[in-house]
Chain A
Amino acid sequence: MLRIKVNGRDYSFNGDPNMPLLWYLRDELRLTGTKFGCGAALCGACTVHQDGRPIRSCVASMARVAGSEIVTIEGLANGELHPVQRAWIAENVPQCGYCQAGQIMQAVALLRAHPRPSDAQIEEAMSGNICRCGTYQRIRAAIKAAAQGGAQ
């Protein structure tokens, strides 16, 4: 039996230890904010935090994440919206919105590591997150706005 903490709550898991965390979150815990985009660590739609670091949940097996603390988009707002979420809203980033949970989780991790990221740091950190609707310039602007406002 595996143990895992998700958004502050403890869970135990008896299923296939090879099941990626993504499907455990979506199908078992019904936390559907984390999205399936490629299943191969190519798009970032499934990005969540494992012990504070961004991971692609579509390729992270339950065995690998056992014992760790996971935060998903649903767990990001703590009573009030996270500053990165506020910046995303202020910059009107989403179009279809499907990629945005992954983008936001990735951006939150970036700003934790680099509270004042350079353009190059933004590109490097965000390059694994595809937005097919093409919202990249607003993502860039929102990250900068969040950095200005002290997103940490």
Chain B
Amino acid sequence: MSAAPVTRRRFLEGVFSAGAFVLCAGALPRGAWAELVNPALPLADTAFHPSVWLGIEPDGTVLIVAARSEMGTGIRTALPRVVADELEADWQRVRIVQAIGDEKYGSQDTDGSHSIRSFFEVMRWAGGTARTMLTQAAAARWGVPVEQCEARLHAVHRRASTAAGGDPALGYGELAAAAARLPLPPRESVRLKPRSQWRYIGHDAPAYDLEAICTGQAGYGMDARVPDMLFAAVAHPPVLGGTVAGYDATAARAVAGVRQVVELPPFHFPAGMQPLGGVAVIADNTWAAFEGRRKLQIRWDDGPNAGYDSAAYRQQLEATARRPGKVARNNGDALAELAAGGQIVTADYYAPHLAHASMEPPVALVDVRADRAEAWVPTQDPQGAQAAIAAAIGLPKDKVICHVPLLGGAFGRKSMHDFAVEAALLSRAAARPVKVVWSREDDIKFDYYHSVAAMHFEAKLGGDGLPTAWLARTVFPPIGSTFNDATEYGGSGELGMGFTDLPFAIPNVRVENGPAHGHLRIGWLRSVANIYHAFGVESFADELAHRAGRDPLEYLLALLGPDRIVDPALLSVDYKPRPNAGNNPYPIDIARYRRVVELAAERAGWGKFKPGNGRGIGIAVHRSFLTYVASVVQVHLDENGLVRIDRVDTALDAGTVVNPINVRAQFEGAAVFGASLALYGEITAKNGAVEQANFDTYPVCRIQQAPAAVHVHIVASDAPPAGVGEPGVPPFAPALCNAVFAATGRRIRALPLVHAGLA
């Protein structure tokens, strides 16, 4: 990690040598850029600036900028592979450079499983434009029409020149200087490669950092180091909104290596991304900071959340879910249909708060100077961190440089900037670079938690056992409550994650949302509201199958109904299709649902499985982040009556996939993530304070508890790329619980399974 302060210019100069050919994002016409970066964002959010996407050194080394954060999803490899493919670069000669936070890259907020979806075409154009310019440079050198030249694997070849003597090919390095002097070609002259000629997209590649990781050389946020830096730990108020009433730091200051004790500014609602306040200990090393913090004597004023109690809160949420709520979707007249009587099935579901618990706890190193600051933050959102640090210190944003080391996992936690701002405030106080290190206890106790949710379902079954009416209510403290205390209803984003986007062919559907007041910071966790909604919806669907006396697989397919594009008008009220829905490349396509269900079931051997004797099989399907995923889970109960997950078959349709081996790994990991939350995951609060602290009280799957085998089946597809990092999570818990029902006859309506004595 560089020691010298880096200015924006020097960041680029340090990357490319003089004489390198550097392709700016200016190579992409503004319109194309704005439209491709993120079709959901207005133009103003994707302001266009010339910037650097890739460059070619005179020695032929191709440098590709990775602007999205690497937290284990493989994006730092995947997007550069897209550039390299269109560039016809030799992957062995590609070096990846991680971008600093800078709005010229468009949104860098690495969340929502949209990096490939939003940047796939941008990266193709960047690579294709550079290839075109190199080809033009070669044509000029040879004095032949450009049509006679062809770029192939790091060189431009002259067609039919093999027999002609002279140079059959010019390497990219040799062409770099000449290409750099060419004007950017108009978009019409850039021809992207047809799918059949992709050499990297759709082909397996190991992660760029694989060997560095396995040898301990990879640089994570936790590993950031600059000269003269100090280390800090913060004693946070145990209750959200609490403040320091007084403290005695005598014993803390007496710890060898402790330099300074600093009270952080008090917290004010709404939480947003501000630090929590408290008292920090700054020391010569991490251990001294932790020891000093342990010796602080602090009296806290717990503030307005001191009464928050998870058990009482659960009853409140469940009561709200049994009352009518705000209508979020309404087709036909579900209320009248239910009121008319018949075979009515009712069930209540509950899923608790969860913590992210990425293996690397939050950590940030910031060096604040009088007129600038430089930060090394394992952040999902470097521009956000840059802005938050700038605002906290009172610097213009462009005076803050935010580097992005590798993230040791994130799962949504590291989209938040509280820990980065802490480091900035403490660096200013110490007049030295300061690295704030959160302990695991800090991480678990002061997370932006996945929301707790209560759901209520009612369905009426017709003569064929299929529902004629579906009433579903969801109640959860929304993410919006983190940013506005008055927010008690879920946003359309949260409701659209598995609740209002219900794909089932049911004539009367009513979806409601009840109010809930938040008492913890609520944030985004890998697949967000899809987790509890899929658990409720897909478990209830399985209940209906059993009530109807039908096979759950066959029933699920019947619920989905005939192949069709779901009419966006059905998703009425609060679920507005995007203005461009007319040519929406991602419609809700029942055929794609059906295909993943059939594939997962077939590969799992659904029809051949013999339940009984404590063995069971379960299925669930869910579409999130535009990807269709079906999970089939097989379980048995061990001699202690605990659930063992023998096999998982996950079928997915994510459209075009860039790196299949990585996609498989993401879905293998999602099954383990899903197993962790289903078996053990629960955060509770008492007297306002979170009760869990480390992996003993907040367990996650260990090797012997994780699914013994996860088989991932990718549907081959030419559709535009969709999400990969998150969509594997939602169907897992309901598929597992449906398997548990098949094995035991016990319907799990509240997570985690540990409370049912099954984990």
Q: Do A and B bind each other?
A: yes
Bound together, the chains give a CA A48 to CA B26 distance in angstroms of 49
A113 located at the interface, meaning its Cβ lies under 8 Å from any Cβ of chain B in the complex? no
**Distance between B211 CB and nearest chain A CB, rounded to angstroms:** 6
A139 to B703, Cβ gap below 8 A? Answer: yes
The chain A residue sitting closest to B409, CB to CB, is A96
Q: Give A63-85 interface residues, CB cut-off 8 Å to B.
A: 72-74, 76-77, 81, 85
A-B residue pair count with CB separations less than 8 angstroms: 188
Q: Which of A19, A72, A96, A130 contacts B71 (CB 8 A)?
A: A96
Given contacts A23-B286, A96-B406, contact A34 B359 (CB under 8 A): no
Q: Given A92-B210, A95-B73, A98-B408, are A138 and B285 neighbors across the interface (CB < 8 Å)? A: no
Check if A134 sits within 8 Å of B706, measured CB to CB. Answer: yes
Is the Cβ of A96 less than 8 Å from the Cβ of B439? no
> Are B287 and A23 interface neighbours, CB within 8 A?
yes
Residues of A120-152 contacting chain B, CB below 8 A: 122-123, 126-140
A95 surroundings in chain B (CB, below 8 A): 72-74, 409, 665-666, 669
Contact indicator B359/A43 (Cβ below 8 Å):
yes
Q: Is the CB of B702 within 8 A of A127?
A: yes
Residue from A45, A85, A139 in contact with B359 in the complex, judged by beta carbons closer than 8 Å: A45
Q: Within 8 Å CB of A128, what residues of B?
A: 702
Q: A16-B288, A40-B440 are in contact. Are A89 and B206 (CB under 8 A)?
A: yes
Give residues of chain A (14-30) contacting chain B, Cβ–Cβ below 8 Å. 15-16, 19-20, 23, 26-28, 30
Distance of B222 from chain A, by nearest CB (Å): 6
B360 interface residue per 8 A CB criterion? yes
Q: Does B566 contact A (CB under 8 A)?
A: no
Given A40-B694, A96-B358, A136-B703, answer yes or no on A28-B214 (Cβ-Cβ < 8 Å): no
Asked if A115 is at the interface (CB within 8 A of a chain B CB), the reply is no
B525 → A minimal CB distance (Å): 12
A138 to chain B, nearest CB (A): 7
A89-B210, A138-B665 as given contacts; A35 in contact with B703, CB under 8 Å? no
Partner of A133, one of B219, B231, B409, B661: B409
Q: For the complex, what is the distance from the CA of A26 to the CA of B289, rounded to whole Å?
A: 14
A52: chain B residues at CB < 8 Å are: none
Interface residues of B in 684-734 (CB under 8 A from A): 694-696, 700-704, 706-710
Asked if residues B256 and A132 are in contact (CB atoms below 8 Å), the reply is: no
Please give, as numbers and ranges, the residues of chain A lying within 8 Å of B287 by CB-CB distance.
Answer: 16, 19-20, 23, 27
- Residue contact A35 to B440, C-beta cutoff 8 Å: no
Contact string, B187-224, partner A, CB cutoff 8 A, digits 1/0? 00000000000000000001101110111111110110
- CB of B512 within 8 A of chain A? no
Interface of B is mostly: loop
Q: Decide: A15 and B256 in contact? CB cutoff 8 A.
A: yes
Which residues in chain B, 662-679, are within 8 Å of chain A measured between CB atoms?
Answer: 665-666, 668-673, 676
Instruction: Say yes or no for A101: interface residue by CB 8 A criterion.
Output: yes
B357 within 8 A of A: yes
B residues within 8 A CB of A96?
70-72, 358-360, 406-410
Q: Within the assembled complex, what's the spacing in Å between the Cα atoms of A32 and B352? A: 36
Q: Is A6 an interface residue (CB 8 A)?
A: no
Is B171 engaged at the interface, CB distance under 8 Å to the other chain?
Answer: no
A35 in contact with B671 given A27-B285, A132-B409, A136-B703 (CB within 8 Å): no
Interface residue tally for chain B (C-beta within 8 Å): 67
In the complex, what residues of A have CB within 8 A of residue B314's CB? none
- B672 x A134 contact (CB < 8 A): yes
- Known interface pairs A23-B286, A89-B206, A131-B359. Does A122 touch B72 (Cβ–Cβ under 8 Å)? no
Determine whether the beta carbon of B700 is less than 8 Å from that of A132.
Answer: yes
Task: List chain A residues, Cβ under 8 A from B72.
Answer: 94-98, 133
Given contacts A96-B408, A135-B665, contact A104 B214 (CB under 8 A): yes
Determine if A37 is an interface residue (Cβ-Cβ < 8 Å): yes
Q: How far is the CB of B703 from chain A (nearest CB, A)?
A: 5
Please pick, from A42, A133, A134, the residue contacting B694 in the complex, using a CB distance under 8 A: A42
Which residues of chain B have C-beta atoms less than 8 A from A39's C-beta? 290, 439-440, 694
Residue ID in chain B nearest A104 by CB atoms: B214
**Is A55 an interface residue, CB under 8 A from the partner?**
no
Given A19-B287, A73-B215, A92-B661, the answer on whether A98 and B360 have CB atoms closer than 8 Å is yes
Choose among B211, B668, B671 the residue that contacts A89 (Cβ–Cβ < 8 A): B211
B residues near A131, Cβ cutoff 8 Å: 359, 672, 703
**CB of B302 to closest CB in A, whole Å:** 26
Q: Given the complex, which residues of B lie within 8 Å of A34, measured CB to CB? A: 216
Q: How far is the CA of A46 from the CA of B215 in the complex (A)?
A: 14
Contacts of B707 in A (CB 8 A): 137
Chain A residues near B668 (CB-CB < 8 A): 134-135, 137-138
Q: Does B437 contact A (CB under 8 A)?
A: yes
B64 to chain A, nearest CB (A): 20
Chain B residues with CB under 8 A of A89: 206, 210-211, 214
Say whether B210 contacts A94, CB under 8 Å: yes
Q: Are B222 and A35 in contact (CB under 8 A)?
A: yes
Residue of B209, B215, B290, B668 most packed against chain A (CB within 10 A): B215
Docked-complex contact B710 and A137, CB < 8 angstroms: yes
Closest to A85 in B: B214
Q: Which residues does chain B contribute within 8 Å of A19, judged by CB atoms?
A: 285, 287
Which of B217, B291, B361, B703 contacts A122 (CB under 8 A)?
Answer: B703
How far is A127 from B705 in the complex, measured between Cα atoms in Å? 9
Cα(A37)–Cα(B399), bound, Å: 33
B257 within 8 A of A: yes
Evaluate whether A23 and B285 lie within 8 angstroms (CB atoms) in the complex, with A132-B700, A135-B669 already known.
Answer: yes
Q: In the complex, A43 Cα to B706 Cα: how many Å?
A: 15
In the complex, A26→B707 CA distance in Å? 34
Within 8 A of A (CB), among B403-460: 406-411, 437, 439-440
Is B517 close to A, CB under 8 A? no
Give the shortest distance, in Å, between A91 (CB) and chain B (any CB).
10
Given contacts A94-B72, A97-B218, 6 further A-B contacts (CB under 8 A): A32-B225, A37-B361, A40-B440, A95-B409, A97-B209, A131-B703
12 A-B residue pairings within 8 Å (CB atoms): A20-B287, A31-B216, A37-B360, A72-B216, A76-B215, A77-B215, A81-B214, A96-B410, A97-B408, A133-B672, A134-B671, A135-B669
Listed in ascending order, the chain A residues whose CB lies under 8 Å from chain B are 15-16, 19-20, 23, 26-28, 30-40, 42-43, 45, 72-74, 76-77, 81, 85, 88-89, 92-101, 104, 122-123, 126-140
Please provide the 5 A-B residue pairs with the shortest distance between their CB atoms, ordered closest to farther.
A33-B216, A134-B672, A96-B72, A98-B408, A73-B216
